[in-house]
Amino acid sequence: MPGPIDYTKITIVPDFDTAEWWMGTKQGKYLVRQCQDCGHKWFPPFPACNTCNSMDLGWFETAGRGVLHSYIVVTQPILGAFVDAVPYVVGLIELDDCHEADGSLVRVGGVLLDDEDAIAIGLPVEVEFEQTNEADIVVPRWKICGSADNTWKFDE
C-alpha cells in the first residue's frame, strides 16, 4: 500500500463547478456530471456539456465500482503532500453503472490504494472515501476488490 498523502500540505478549495461534487464525497457518494439535455456524463466536473454545449447540468450517482482500464505509476512527487505516497498508482476506471447513450462506459481517474504489484488492467475496483484534515474535504480513492480472468500489466 502506498504511503499516506499528507493533506496538511495541500489545500483543496471547491469552486462553483466542483462544490456539489465535494459535498457528495463527504456523504460517501461518487458523482459524475450529467447533461440534462443529451444525457452525456463526464468527470471531472466542468461547466458545460462538451457534446451539446448545454449548461443545464445535473449529477449521476454511481455505485463507485468499475474496472481498471489503464494506469500509470507516479514515482516523482510533484507536490509535498505526495512525498511519502510515492510510488502510487493513478488509474483510469470504467464505471460499471455509468453508460453513455451509445453504451460506452464512462471513465474516471483516481488514485489507487493498492501498490503497482497488486494491480492489473481488467481487475475490478471500488471507491473508498478518505477523510482529509479538512472536515469538509473527503477524497475518493480506489482499491482492487476482486479478481478477473483476463488481466494485463505493463511489465508483461
Binding site for Zn ion (CB under 5 A): 35, 37-38, 40, 49, 51-52, 54
Pick between residue 35 and residue 120 the one whose CB is nearest to Zn ion: 35
CA distances in angstroms from 11 to 14, 46, 50, 78, listed in the order given: 10, 20, 28, 14
Q: How far is the CB of 47 from Zn ion (least distance, A)?
A: 12
Pick between residue 40 and residue 141 the one whose CB is nearest to Zn ion: 40
The Cβ of residue 21 has, within 10 Å, a number of other Cβ atoms equal to 20
CA dist 153 and 50 (Å) reads 32
Q: How far is the CB of 100 from Zn ion (least distance, A)?
A: 11
Pick between residue 52 and residue 72 the one whose CB is nearest to Zn ion: 52
